[in-house]
Structure 1
Amino acid sequence: MPHPKSINPLVDELVQSLSAEGRETFEERAGVMEFDGGENRELAEALALLDLLKRHPAALLDVDVFSITRDQVTQFLVCHRGRMTAERLRSVGYEVVKEVELSTVLQGHFNGLAMLSHPWAHKA
């Protein structure tokens, strides 16, 4: 479902690229700032977007990261947003531990550096 158009075109463009969960968080935060905080709608939306990006810096990356386990081996699947779902991963035998943020995975599991390789690539 498309997000209602924001007052500021730049804010609107960025909000449209968020996940559904990100848009919901943005709307909730903007509403709180406007109605409880007394800010005008345009400023409330801009501040809500900044707040969301402060808490979730990768929100605009358009990627999903899943922590998955099969045969007691945990791996991380990085894909274009919406390309894979937890349900689909479960249907092919993976336990989906959780969706995680890319920066958290890089820092917490790879000391800030990881090399991606195609899972079906074979050496000749």
Structure 2
Amino acid sequence: MENKYVFFSGIIIASLLATTFAFASNGNRLVAQEEDITLFGIDIEALISIATTILASFLFSISFIAYRKDRRERLLFVTAAFFLFAVKGFLVALDEIVLLEEFPLELEAIAQLLDFGVLALFFLGLMRK
């Protein structure tokens, strides 16, 4: 049963990676353009944001499976922290790729609030017995 969840998590991550590279438009080699380094037509910063989001999503799914199995309150806080980190990574990656200039709120402020929430949840998870 556990292997099934890990397998489906891997499929979701592979699908996200395939979708990301499908949207790339400028070839598939490393190119330097006016100090911007791109790979598969996407800035390296955006690729790092995407990789961070995928890792956070994977860790969220693993910790969620562990929480469902164990039902410890500490794992619930850790799971929520990984979820917030994945949401933050998704917003940052979306901003890097699509450049959300018409977004009504400042994205950096939202990212900082999500970082604060992640740290608070990790702290609460550590302090619970």
Common topology (TM > 0.5): no
Q: TM-score, normalised by structure 1?
A: 0.33
Which one has a larger percent helix, Structure 1 or Structure 2? 2
Which one has a larger percent strand, Structure 1 or Structure 2? 1
Q: TM-score, normalised by structure 2?
A: 0.32
Higher relative contact order (CA 8 A, sep 6+): 2
Bigger radius of gyration: 1
